[in-house]
Amino acid sequence: MVTSVVTGGAGFLGSHLCDKLLAEGHEVVCLDNLITGNVANIEHLAGNSAFRFIKHDVTEYIYLPGSVDYVFHFASPASPIDYLQLPIQTLKVGALGTHKALGLARAKEAVFTLASTSEVYGDPLVHPQKEDYWGNVNPVGPRGVYDEAKRFAEAMTMAYHRYHGVKTRIVRIFNTYGPRMRARDGRAVPAFITQALAREQVTVFGDGSQTRCFCYVSDLIDGICRLAFGEETDPVNIGNPSEMTVRELAERIIRLAGSPSVLVFKDLPVDDPKVRQPDISRARRLLDWQPMIDVDQGLARTIDYFKKDESD
């Protein structure tokens, strides 16, 4: 039996990854201290003999008996609200947490996959962003705690690969959405959906001309698994290259939700990227991967999830 460890496994992405690995026949150990994760995301796995949840802070030493084949390091606050409210924890999980997770992978001779982020590119001066772009990050700005934590985590991962020979993978995750997102975590999709369903004004920061790309969660998890089970060591972008303005996203959600909501504009946050679009040429070539769910289809599924969540 193949055994995988998922840090941050009770979070939005981590819980979907646990589901995918279980479906692939893995035994899964989920580690999460629940500061941003939620047991509701994994409660459907209760009673599954192949799944084990351990409440643990991965900035502390990780001990697990038995063999481990894959370690997926997904633990980290990941939304703007979270990492602005939890700046020290964000830096610690990027540094100490990555160190401890890599130590586990080294001890078990497991493949290590780091969940990095498009935020390593900062407010990019190159568009779209390719993996060989080094980024434009403000290390002392409010977003720097997340950006630099992930940049450090990438450097630590490559150091373990080069110095200790650990088999490592680095996925740079672009904006992802879908069921299990928290309603008010500061990210555009859940914020717009909850406001539209409540028939409130939909809040757009700046004039809404900044661009983003949105990948449905099942597509993202498929790409991550292809990377983890492959041989590529250098970073790989996983995201949907279909670019749109934030204003267009808000208008789509209002239309799909059948809402009478109107847009209201507020000041743009400090260091908010003006553009964000992945170049996924490497993922297409090396992983034979590209997103399959179009944005309207994915948004409709996500809106249905939030409608059901409201009615429960």
Give me the CATH number covering residue 109.
Answer: 3.40.50.720
Res. 270 pLDDT band, cuts 50 70 90: confident
Residue 312 has pLDDT above 70, yes or no: no
Distance from C-alpha of 282 to C-alpha of 85, rounded to nearest angstrom:
35
The domain total for the chain is 2
End-to-end CA distance of the chain: 37
pTM of the model: 0.96
Residue 14: how many other CB atoms lie within 10 Å: 28
Query: Looking at the structure, do residues 15 and 49 belong to the same domain, yes or no?
Result: yes
Residue 306 has pLDDT above 90, yes or no: yes
- Calculate mean pLDDT across residues 56-74: 98
SS3 readout for 56-91: CCCCCCCCCCCCCCEEEECCCCCCHHHHHHCHHHHH
Q: Residue 162 has what DSSP assignment?
A: I
- Calculate mean pLDDT across residues 230-247: 96
Q: Which domain holds residue 130?
A: 3-177+217-240+281-287
- Calculate mean pLDDT across residues 184-206: 92
Query: Looking at the structure, do residues 58 and 22 belong to the same domain, yes or no?
Result: yes
Active site residue 146: yes
Res. 285 pLDDT band, cuts 50 70 90: very high
Predicted local confidence at residue 273, as pLDDT: 82
Query: Looking at the structure, do residues 173 and 195 belong to the same domain, yes or no?
Result: no
- Calculate mean pLDDT across residues 157-173: 98
Distance from C-alpha of 230 to C-alpha of 209, rounded to nearest angstrom:
37
Residue 310: how many other CB atoms lie within 10 Å: 11
The fraction of the chain above a pLDDT of 70, given in percent, is 99
3-state secondary structure of 125: coil
Residue 310 has pLDDT above 70, yes or no: no
- Calculate mean pLDDT across residues 76-96: 94
Find the catalytic residue in 146, 160, 177, 216: 146
Predicted local confidence at residue 269, as pLDDT: 80
The fraction of the chain above a pLDDT of 90, given in percent, is 90
Among 9-23, 41-55, 189-203, 297-311, the range scoring the smallest mean pLDDT is: 297-311
Res. 147 pLDDT band, cuts 50 70 90: very high
Q: What's the CATH code of the domain at 196? A: 3.90.25.10
- Calculate mean pLDDT across residues 92-114: 98
Q: Per the domain annotation, does 183 fall within a domain?
A: no
Residue 80 has pLDDT above 90, yes or no: no
Residue 154 has pLDDT above 80, yes or no: yes
Dump pLDDT digits (tens) for 24-46.
Answer: 999 999 999 999 999 999 999 99
- Give me the chain's average pLDDT, please: 95
Query: Looking at the structure, do residues 204 and 252 belong to the same domain, yes or no?
Result: yes
- Calculate mean pLDDT across residues 252-280: 91
Query: Looking at the structure, do residues 82 and 140 belong to the same domain, yes or no?
Result: yes
Q: Per the domain annotation, does 76 fall within a domain?
A: yes
